[in-house]
Amino acid sequence: MQKVAVVTGASSGIGSALCERLLQEDASLHVCLACRNLEKANATRNHLLSCFPSADVSIVQIDVSKMDSVLRAAEEIKARFHRLDYLFLNAGIMVNPRISLWAFIRGIFSRRAYQMLTTAEGLMSQEDRVTADNLQEVFETNLFGHFVLIRNLEPLLCCIEKPSKLVWTSSVNACKSNFSLEDFQHRQGKEAYSSSKYATDLTSVALNNRFNKQGLYSSVVCPGVVMTNMTFEILPPLVWKLFFPILWLFRLFTNTYTLTPYNGAEALVWLFKQKPELLDPLVKFHSCTTFFGKNYVEIRKVSRPLRVHCVVISTVVPQVTYASGYIRFRLQTPLTQKYYLRLRTLLQDENRNRAPPAQKQQEAPLAKVVLQVKKRPPERIKYLT
pLDDT of residue 321: 30
Angle formed at CA 142 by CA 141 and CA 144, multiple of 5 degrees: 70
Q: Provide the β-strand partners of residue 70.
A: none
Q: Provide the β-strand partners of residue 8.
A: 34
Q: Compute the mean pLDDT over every residue in the chain, rounded to the nearest whole number.
A: 80
Query: In sequence order, which ranges of the chain are alpha helices (DSSP H)?
Result: 13-25, 38-51, 67-80, 101-108, 113-119, 137-139, 145-152, 154-157, 192-211, 229-232, 237-249, 261-264, 266-272, 334-354, 357-360
Residue 304 has pLDDT above 60, yes or no: no
Confidence of residue 78 (pLDDT cuts 50, 70, 90): very high
Give the predicted TM-score (pTM) of the model.
0.80
Q: Could you report the per-residue pLDDT of 144-183, keeping only the tens digit for each?
A: 999 999 999 999 999 988 999 999 999 888 888 788 777 8
Q: Is 193 a catalytic residue?
A: yes
Euclidean distance between CA atoms 221 and 302, whole angstroms: 13
Euclidean distance between CA atoms 141 and 16, whole angstroms: 18
Q: Are 89 and 15 in contact (CB under 8 A)?
A: no
Confidence of residue 373 (pLDDT cuts 50, 70, 90): very low
Residues 24-40: what's their mean pLDDT?
Answer: 96
**86, 114, 193, 322: which is the annotated catalytic residue?**
193
Structural fold of domain 4-302: Rossmann fold (3.40.50)
Euclidean distance between CA atoms 67 and 179, whole angstroms: 24
Q: Provide the β-strand partners of residue 299.
A: 285, 381
Distances (CA, A) of 156 to 78, 112, 163, 216, 349: 7, 45, 11, 10, 23
Sequence letter at residue 174: A
- Pairing of β 216-222 and β 315-316: unpaired
Q: In the chain, pLDDT over 90 holds for what percent of residues?
A: 48
Residue in 221, 92, 224, 222 with CA at minimum distance from that of residue 167: 221
Confidence of residue 38 (pLDDT cuts 50, 70, 90): very high
Euclidean distance between CA atoms 275 and 158, whole angstroms: 15
- Pairing of β 315-316 and β 321-324: antiparallel
DSSP letters for 56-69? EEEEEE--TT-HHH
Residue 4 has pLDDT above 70, yes or no: yes
Cis amide leading into 97 (omega within 30): no
pLDDT of residue 302: 60
Hey, which of 39-53, 90-104, 325-339 has the most confident mean pLDDT? 39-53
